[in-house]
Structure 1
């Protein structure tokens, strides 16, 4: 089955391909700018975006939204994490949220799949903390400030080992199971 992944982020495309790719599922990149609604509700964001993406391509498509829900900040920024990240960047993001108490956070991914008949969403979460100062490579957004619970490294310091435990992996494995059950005869 060919599935298009709507993203221009080369790191996300690689992660999704590495996690989801198999002989039965081929991931194709669909790099098209889609006007994304701004909301703290991640399900609303992916649902809106997968509908718009399907209208553009007319093929099975997935979109994903990953965000940080910081406990002492009312579980924000959530779906607005990218906006916060772009404004604050690594050092300021890390300092600001680390000062808000324990810096306990949930990293959450919501993946939406649309085949033209229905939209299905899948969620993955992992608990952790926001570290200060940032550690590791800063190329992939907030990976340098998020340290998963039970580990001594940030996602950035883990490198590809991140894919073994990440919230994106959890959501994508749920999607993969769904696809294998729903489309096993195709």
Structure 2
């Protein structure tokens, strides 16, 4: 039994969500062609709650949405949830070049996933600490995956260098999707 639609205009997010949610039978993953307006805000919780409400208003069916944040310590936590305009404007080389040589390259990548059924919004947020690579590496993933090295990967690979299963076990989005899937199982009943 379907309990929610995964609402996204990003085909890469759809692949990852499908990988986590569909085997459990909890969420039908759709790539929505007409996007929703996202608020411009550094705070990830505000962004995900507004995004979920807008997605529910558009779909009029329970939805699950995701939004990420990329918090660079050297930039006092920026760009945060504004990573997409940063990435679109600067690209990998520009983002990597924001930290001068010799400075710490610490980054906290976060992902918030929100379930919204029109009456409630349940948010799961997960964070992974890592570092900003000196340059883009790997061919997998999307957005900042080629420049983020998770602290938990002892080989020092970027998310773009990891196979999908391994990336989803380490990434904030994969961890948040799994937590949301488990919450849905507990609170929305079995498939």
Would the aligned equivalents of 2:140 and 2:159 in 1 still touch at CA under 8 Å?
no
Unaligned runs of 5+ in 2: none
SS of residue paired to 1:153: coil
The alpha carbon displacement at 1:87 in A equals: 0.6
Q: TM-score, normalised by structure 2?
A: 0.91
2:139 corresponds to: 137
1:58 corresponds to: 60
20 and 70 in structure 1: CA distance in 2 versus 1, 3 angstrom threshold: same
Moved over 6 A (4+): none
State the Cα RMSD in Å: 1.7
Q: TM-score, normalised by structure 1?
A: 0.93
Are 1:155 and 2:139 matched, yes or no? no
SS of residue paired to 1:102: coil
Would the aligned equivalents of 1:20 and 1:176 in 2 still touch at CA under 8 Å?
yes
Deviations 1:45-104 (A, max 9, x none): 111111111111111101111121111211111110111101100111112136482110
- Distance in 2, matches of 1:18 and 1:74, equals 34
Q: How does 1:117-128 map to 2 (within 5 A)?
A: 117-128=119-130
Say how many residue pairs are matched: 186
The alpha carbon displacement at 1:24 in A equals: 3.0
163 and 35 in structure 1: CA distance in 2 versus 1, 3 angstrom threshold: same
2:148 corresponds to: 146
Would the aligned equivalents of 1:7 and 1:13 in 2 still touch at CA under 8 Å?
yes
Unaligned runs of 5+ in 1: none
SS of residue paired to 1:141: coil
Q: Could you tell which deviates more after superposition, 18-27 or 125-134? A: 18-27
The alpha carbon displacement at 1:159 in A equals: 2.9
116 and 131 in structure 1: CA distance in 2 versus 1, 3 angstrom threshold: same
- Distance in 2, matches of 1:148 and 1:119, equals 29
